[in-house]
Amino acid sequence: MFAQSAPLFQDRNEVGRRLASRLGHYAGSNAIVVALPRGGVVVGSEIAAALGLPLEVLIVRKIGHPSNPEFGVAAVAEGGAPVWDREVLRALRVTTADLKPRLMEEEREVARRARVYREGRGFPEVKGRIVLLVDDGTATGNTLRAAIASLRFRGVRRIAVAVGVAPAEVAKELRRTVEEWVCLATPGRFSAVGQFYRHFDPVDDGEVLELLRRARHANVDPVMRQP
């Protein structure tokens, strides 16, 4: 297994600040930062604060292989259908029916997190809007694919994906699916997002809630913000 000899980033806050400097053309615009919890919210909060934009979350959960839940073979986002990695499923001889119990479990977790993080609010109206879709990184691209599909279904006008790190091949594929792609590093050898961070501590629900509340106090609530 390849081990990164020196981390590329100190932490998620650094990644957020660096991404914000690449997204300066959205400063003060009517765009909205939509982060993938949990780690993506730390990155997204830095971008939202630097650019003066509202911050929201889109709940996405990976669906793991039945015998290895950590190995994602699909993903589901709120308001969207599951996105299956068909090539991997064929290679592993796994069917979508095999994954139905995991899918149902993750759909319940999506609903739970949406209730917790939004504190009773619905997802903001994003039809015709510009969305900056943010995460700390992606390994397989499945969660980003699910998020992109959900946002397209909601009728967004433009999606700019901003992530810290992604495998080169995944980045190449995802770049073709959105209007703008910003990624700080695309290493050819990749095992996990965390290997590229010096500090990659788990982010809990409390921290996500605090960052979202702070952003709501600093900006107009995205539910009330009009395109």
Residue 120's pLDDT is what?
84
Comparing C-alpha atoms, which of 106, 166, 110, 173 is closest to residue 139?
Answer: 166
How many CA within 13 A on the CB side of residue 145? 22
pLDDT bin (cut points 50, 70, 90) of residue 223 is: very low
- Grouping H, G, I as helix, E, B as strand and the rest as coil, residue 197 is strand
Q: Count Cβ atoms within 10 A of the Cβ of residue 121 and give its class: 0-12 exposed, 13-18 middle, 19 or more buried.
A: middle
DSSP of 64-129, one letter per residue? EETTEEEEEEEEEETTS--EE-HHHHHHHT--TTTTHHHHHHHHHHHHHHHHHHHTTPPPPP-TT-
Q: What is the pLDDT of residues 190-222, one digit of tens each?
A: 889 999 999 999 999 999 999 999 999 886 544
Q: What is the pLDDT of residues 164-173, one digit of tens each?
A: 999 999 999 9
Residue 226's pLDDT is what?
39
Q: What is the pLDDT of residues 28-69, one digit of tens each?
A: 899 999 999 999 999 999 999 999 999 999 999 998 877 777
Domains of the chain: 12-59+124-218 (3.40.50.2020)
> The pTM is what?
0.90
